[in-house]
Amino acid sequence: MLSMAASVLAGLLLLRYFVFATPPSAFEPNALPENTLTSETGHSQNVSTCPGYTLTGLKETSSGITAHLNLAGNACDAFGSDIANLTLEVTHDTKTRLHVNIFDTAQNQFTIPSSVIELAGPDDDVHKETSDLVFNYEPSPFAFWITRRSEPDGAPLFDTRTSSLPPTPIPPIVSNDSSTAFDGFPLVFEDQYLQLTSALPFDANVYGLGEAVASAGFRRDVGANGGTGTIQTLWARDAADPIDGNMYGSHPFYLEHRYNSTTHRSQSHGVFHFSSAGSDIFLMTPPSSPVSLIQYRLIGGTLDFYFFSGPSSQEVVEQYGALIGLPTWQPAWGFGFHLCRWGYHDINVTREQVENMRAAEIPLEVQWNDIDLYHAVRDFTTDPVTFPGEEMRAFIQNLTANHQHYIPIVDAAIAKQVNDTDVYDPYTRGVELDTWIKNPDGSEYVGQVWPGYTVFPDWFAPNTLELWTEALQNWSAAGVEFSGLWLDMNEISSFCNGSCGTTANISNTTQPSILPGDPGNLVTEYPEGYNATISGPSGNITVNGTLTFDAGEVTTTSVLTRRGLGEAVEKGVNLNDPPYALHNGNGPLWVSTLATNATHAGGFVELDVHNMWGMMEEKTTHLALQALYPTKRPFIIARSTFPSSGKWTGHWLGDNFSKWQYIRFNIQGVLQFQLFQIPFVGADTCGFNDNTDEELCNRWMQLSAFMPFYRNHNEREALSQEPYRWDSVANASRTAISIRYSLLPYWYTLFANASMRGTPPVRALFFEFPDEPELFAVDTQYLVGSDILVTPVLTPNVSTVDGIFPGQGRVIWRDWYTHEVVNATPSTPATLSAPLGHINVHIRDGSALLLHAQPAYTINETRSGPYSLLVSQAADGYAFGTAYIDDGETIPPTPNRTVMIHSQRGEIRLQSWGDYDITQKLTTVTVLGAAQTTPERVLIQGNTARSWEFDERIQRLVISDLVIDLNEPVQVSWA
């Protein structure tokens, strides 16, 4: 990102020209309404003379302190007007959470209303003297640092003292971008610019701060040891998965993992800045500096920080979830395989996909439709010719009869009614209920999206939930009997700048952009590494079983195709072009989105609330679905997210590309969102933009089978990529989905733990093995829960893959398919066989997994079948596991049962508790590492087992033909 900083705006101008057929002049300020404020030039844009603040009036409270912070000298007005009087509040919320809030005493700056996000408050106990986090401070100039009570002499976890930071001035990190210089590190609190800097350990292990497709990987680049550093801009943007640029979501939360080379032990902690303000977050290590640093630069809001003590990475994530809210409960069917395409242009083509998937015997749980579904590309409609309402009803009801499901898209923008004869109830009803975002003069704000001129729901307006619920109810009644919803374009995206339709000819409904596949925007680029002279136009990348990536001369056709109160009441602020320019990939903040002076109910302006728009839509949609279907868990997948989004929705990783580097980005994206408490996440399998090929799709269908959200989706008129298109992909998909469905009790339990405790279901290796530095940067492998290690192939034209086996030789890993023990050198990557169609999966010792014994075509059929038990014993015979079981559909509290599995040498015991009756029986028990010699007897509930076999070579005991009631205690023994 840093090397691209100088060219990003010019590149965007060119991209804009091709994507939206909009000339570069659209970037000029006159594209905005006349009431746009122009840039001010009365600011130094240099913080070196900023005086900082002096602490006075300190008061002790039962849970912390309060104090005044007064400007310590003459105002510097670097990027705004310095605020002279601040308030400091420090609260020990819990034993593991510390709240440090610095805000303007007059409380004019924007803060997020509790009606939008309700954070957890302090618990009932007093923790000032018992908390593991200690707040330390210097009064003048004011600075603070956070330490652990358990390590009083340890390095601070967060440290804003100038003496702890590198000397300044520091020249620009990017030579042609003066804004990447560091003039000084004072606390700056202005109406349009806030700055806070903390020292980090040199080359710190930092994770989070997103949403990001980071070239450096899951571990963020802090600019040490040859790194260039990171500028993470938080400004929600509709951009097709840009590398190192701001994109759909905004998450100012990070986890830091510290390894003590003396004790060889690690601890983690977390830092969360609770703000919706647009911001740049710098991770840098200045030349010759012994420390790295993190710097927050905000264009509004306050400095409202929460610190989490961990000390494990898992506990940090759980503590963050306890503050912002835990993830929504997912219905069991959501874990099935989903199929979508922008380009299923009528109901017959859509129905054909369902039929073809069944004919190919590839399980399909959910069929989706993109905007092809709509009439005139309008939300809550179906095209009367291509998707007639009654045919849609019959199609969806047939899916339902087969225990399958249907999900349509809901775009963020609502079409504006063209004329008096035009009938479009969602718009006119919204006018009646006064639910649309407005211009500063009170008129409707009118942007431009797929249907032409559009308006945008104002989630702050009191009647918007009513509008949304009514629209969804009417849509379902008209035939679209959806099981869940897909929320797209909610950054929010607009194809013009400013309220371009306010005075325009509304009857002009010409498409504002050229769609992929239309003349002038053909998807003609061959798949990556593809040789058309060998494979023709099919997308096949194997010939007689031989991979052909980069074989001979690669043919490509170049084509640009991409899918494409606070400030409101303060005087003298610049709403549209704040003096500090964020490193927004679109340049000005108002490009390709709403103008930042657009107004919301309650007097809020878009500049302050922009990053929350998507989350507020997700919350409203979730509440609407609950109102319509009071007992059923809402299923939502959305694009733009913000802290607390996980309470309402899942997420897909946006409009990615059919490139090998993006299959790797898939892993870091999913790991990011585990931190953000949005665990139900996945990528567009096989890639969305461009053309995929057989090999890439083969590997990706396998990878995604071990991700939470599993959907194949691609763009209009690109090469078809349904998994039945290639025999090798079909075979790989059937195998991977069969494993996924057998593991559903495990996945379901992981997500129950996420919803009840915030425990991340998918984990980076160091989460489970925190004291192994060789794992800290690994993001080509990952763990599902604590027990399943996934090592996917992420490069083309290979038949092996390298993977490390955590545990430094102290853990026994067994192959999922053969159950053989892995013989690998500790702490060193091993080369594993990985022919096309095979993904390496390994089981950790000490695990006990309740599985579905007979994976079937749908989740309902699979859940209706019997259970099996797989126990992988450690060397001492120990293994442990749990399984949470309920009806998979109703909103908790609902009847449920937890099965606990405990193993020791020669014995397994199962116990359960709860009020849910498990009707399916346990029919098979497999024990790995059971014994070195064949047992003489095997007992079930004290009685001799009827059918069992033992493989001495791999120490595997298999007991079959069982009929065990999981509602009762169970004992299995052998000797």
d(CA 846, CA 874): 5
Strands 710-712 vs 684-685: parallel, antiparallel or unpaired: parallel
Q: Which residues contact 546 (CB under 8 A, 6 or more apart)?
A: none
Share in percent of the chain as helix, strand, coil (round to 5): 20, 25, 50
* Burial 839-855, CB ≥16 within 10 A → b, else e: bbbbbbbbbbbbbbbbb
Residues 584 and 607 sit within 8 Å (Cβ to Cβ): no
Distance CA 406, CA 483 (A): 6
Residue 814 near residue 777 (C-beta atoms within 8 A): no
CB 245 within 8 A of CB 284: no
- The number of beta carbons lying within 10 Å of the beta carbon of residue 128 is 17
Instruction: Centre a 10 Å sphere on the Cβ of residue 961 and count the other Cβ atoms it contains.
Output: 10
CB 87 within 8 A of CB 105: yes
- Cβ proximity of 102 and 90 under 8 Å: no
For 151, which DSSP code? Answer: B
For strands 485-488 and 405-411, give the pairing.
parallel
- Parallel, antiparallel, or unpaired for β 158-159 and 684-685? unpaired
State the DSSP code for 150: T
Q: Residue 437 in 3-state DSSP?
A: coil
Would you name the residues annotated as active-site residues?
A: 488, 491, 655
Taking a C-beta distance cutoff of 8 angstroms, is the pair 86, 102 a contact?
yes
d(CA 523, CA 501): 30
Cβ-count burial 144-163 (b if 16+ within 10 Å, e if not): bbbbbeeeeeebbbbbbbbe
- Tell whether omega for the bond before 893 is within 30 degrees of 0, i.e. cis: yes
Task: Supply the angle between the helices 694-704 and 727-742 in degrees, to the nearest 10.
Answer: 0
Q: Which helix (H) or strand (E) holds 923?
A: strand 921-928
- The C-alpha atoms of residue 807 and residue 765 are separated, in whole angstroms, by 10
Q: Which two tokens stand for residue 637?
A: 């997948």
15: three-class secondary structure by DSSP:
helix
* 810: CB partners within 8 A, 6+ apart: none
Query: 452, 512 in Cβ contact below 8 A?
Result: yes
Cross-sheet strand order for the sheet of 788-791:
762-763, 782-784, 788-791, 840-844, 813-815
- The length of the chain in residues reads 975
Query: What's the one-letter identity of residue 511?
Result: Q
Count of other CB atoms within 10 angstroms of residue 769: 22
